[in-house]
Structure 1
């Protein structure tokens, strides 16, 4: 064999020595062990995540709620000047001590990730930022995933504005392409101060953002919202129920524009006049409770 390779003795000795030296090198270096452990842990973690996610989906199917809502390794605190706005909010003050800390933390995180922009000379101050943020956090307070992936910019106008997107004069719109929510501050405050029964621009437009988010994402909060919305659609397929809703005029006419406007107006009524909705249409009321996992009116 070696003569066929034309190897002389010195070269042969070097060849054998090299082979022996390779045998002495550990087959698994420290780096290889670390990589192996990391990959194994990653694969196991992914498998555990999907198993738990599947089990939670089954749990949701029967219990109509997630395993848990609040879990934070550390809780953020708002600075005192911003916390003062929270302390004046009726919903926040109705919460227990623990939930107040959760609400404050979520508000901090929302402010941290959201860019606020003023248009047409409007200067956005802390009061404006907090009023919008509080409304978003209230609407998503029953959801585990409260930071909406498709919303990262809030644009405030003094009053109505011309929408390039819709080619109309608007007081509010959600633009999923730019992940932006545009609001007339005047009209937002009108709803926020409960000056127009059953109507709230902020609730309406934020609901659009939540709805869009539920279509585009598959986390447990989005799954609950979207699946419950489909159940509600099926329930409203009954002609007599639809007629009763129209006849009571509990929802303004704009609700019947399309299914997206219907749910936005319905959530407005739910948040502004929950007991009236519960009294007249208890089934629909509980669909909204389930959709938002919002049980804070149940006392």
Structure 2
């Protein structure tokens, strides 16, 4: 009986040994992969420190196509039409992925159509086009009201708000459209609220896009610590008074001006303009 058990043990040993070898290989590959990732991540952080931009922005194993009924909308977008053929495909791909990732909800009887979804989507894609990580972790729902709405969160009548706890953004469609129609006035509801979402994501995440945005924001804060610079900004009246509510509103209003009147901002405050370019890695006004 003991002899029979010994034979069984000998027969089981090779199979156990093979299993252990397989597990050993898997663990080793996993550890090596993690080490390689963090080494590359560190090297990219060093690269960003000196070059002020990531290794790369666009890399997609496969390109997602927009349905033809949605493609017509981006072909009317001014920013999209300034891109080369390759970047146009990237823009359309990002729009298609974003639409799959985000839930649009209408309130107070508002029926959301393709035009509405695409107008908001294109604005998000444009603002994040210089970033590798363009899907915002703390945004998965966009709520659209016909006009201003009562905010349960703030207990006020609002035209837009970003709520990171519910990962939702609420917009007044009337005011969103007004911002798009009256360009160059430094007021754009969509840009403003999307910037809040980007800013919050940059604080909570540690990917390279968030790192660049947040670290540059801190550099800008330090630069704006000068009383003389702050006085120049106030005197120039390039930013509306709401910008001085707090640092979150300041950056949101600043990026409104940057996206709508880049030449004006660059001429009056070239240093601040350069900070925003770096923050968003948005160099398309330089082309």
State whether TM-score is above 0.5: yes
Label 1:272 to 1:196 Cα distance change in 2 as closer, same or farther (>3 A): closer
Equivalence for 2:43:
55
Deviates more, 1:289-298 or 1:41-50: 41-50
Equivalence for 2:246:
258
Distance in 2, Cα, partners of 1:199 & 1:96: 28
Over aligned residues, Cα RMSD in angstroms? 1.2
Distance in 2, Cα, partners of 1:136 & 1:159: 20
- Offset at residue 151 of structure 1 (A): 0.3
Q: Does 1:146 align with 2:134?
A: yes
1:184 to 172, 181, 186: 172
Equivalence for 1:270:
258
Number of corresponding residues? 286
Equivalence for 1:131:
119
Distance in 1, Cα, partners of 2:225 & 2:18: 64
1:174 to 159, 162, 170: 162
Label 1:161 to 1:258 Cα distance change in 2 as closer, same or farther (>3 A): same
Which blocks of at least 5 consecutive residues in structure 1 are unaligned?
1-13
Which blocks of at least 5 consecutive residues in structure 2 are unaligned?
none
Residues 261-281 of structure 1, C-alpha deviations (whole Å, 9 max, x = no match): 000000000000000000000
Equivalence for 1:22:
9
TM superposition score normalised by structure 2: 0.97
Q: Does 1:32 align with 2:20?
A: yes
Contact 1:190 1:196 in 2 (8 A): no
Equivalence for 2:87:
99
- Offset at residue 17 of structure 1 (A): 4.1
Residues 167-225 of structure 1, C-alpha deviations (whole Å, 9 max, x = no match): 00000000000000000000001111235711100000000000000000000000000
Q: Does 1:209 align with 2:193?
A: no
Label 1:40 to 1:217 Cα distance change in 2 as closer, same or farther (>3 A): same
2:231 to 243, 257, 260: 243
Distance in 2, Cα, partners of 1:85 & 1:71: 24
TM superposition score normalised by structure 1: 0.93
Distance in 1, Cα, partners of 2:58 & 2:156: 40
